[in-house]
Structure 1
């Protein structure tokens, strides 16, 4: 079954004290006493089902074998009321939530997007031979044509196989190759996550890098 992502960008903003008529910070520490608010539903920015990105960022469906940036952190203790209410609503519908976690803009802005995965992708990358050269056509953990050609070495349906990086098999006009990808291959700079990063960066410029975060969860 497929896995989808949901969530919210949250912001810890400083409301004008004159408008509130009170001090909003207790104890003088930065951010203390200031509530997190839901800034925008992730649904408005990105609902793409991209397992490479899910694995790279949050460790879900991590077939590409990344060291996740923020996996299984759970729900922040100071999560906004909007996010808490949304999770209650989802539970009432009987939907099962997995992999709840969060990550701040401060963490995201220092990511080394050139960092490779820890080992080769569990899915073989497939290239078709054309007059113009090799053309990438997709990747899969199991392929019937490949399995028929190589036998038991192809692995078992539904069970990811560990391939030595650089291994290649030419079957007909299709080249099967074990490759290790980088974070920027999973989360492209101009890809579906760009709108999310733009919103978070804009809010961080106003309120601080540690005062903007993305809270997400997954359902099957």
Structure 2
């Protein structure tokens, strides 16, 4: 099952995508995950979204993180210039907070390793 990120995050998601995945990373964050590819065990729904995006020919990259990984993240880590923390880019007090709330609730039901954020980026 999947939820479109933009239903939950109505703000500028790019600074968060930079610090999480290195996408459009002009901010200089060390990404938490890069180049993981499409999840082998993706749901039928996520596979359909991937196909609607044009599949591997039109998707620039696919990256994912589990709730368990996010739970061990140092949110006070700064970008390369030392001017922004992960928390300021994608922490609970940003538009990403709703995403984290949903993932937290789902992890209580399904387990932290079984809840993940998947980012598909168009070429």
Other-structure match for 1:83: 46
CA distance in 1, matches of 2:48, 2:10: 20
* Distance in 2 separating the partners of 1:89 and 1:210: 27
Q: 1:182 to 1:212 in 2, by over 3 A?
A: same
Q: For this pair of structures, how many residues does the alignment match?
A: 122
Alpha-carbon distance in 2 for matches of 1:47, 1:96: 24
Range moving further from structure 2, 71-80 or 41-50 = 41-50
SS of equivalent to 1:102:
strand
- TM-score, reference length from structure 1: 0.51
Give the conservation status (yes or no) of the 8 Å contact 1:64–1:180. no
Runs of 4+ in 1 over 3 A off after TM superposition: 47-50
The 5 Å alignment of 1:30-49 reads 38-49=1-12
Unaligned runs of 5+ in 2: none
CA RMSD between the two structures: 1.9
Residues 1:99 and 2:2 are matched in the alignment = no
The answer to which structure has the higher helix fraction is: 2
Pair 1:50–1:39, CA change in 2 (3 A): closer
Larger radius of gyration: 1
Q: Deviations over 1:28-54 (max 9, x none)?
A: xxxxxxxxxx14232321254333211
Q: List alignment gaps of at least 5 residues for structure 1.
A: 1-37, 121-178
**Aligned match of 1:110:** 72
Task: Decide which structure has greater strand share.
Answer: 1
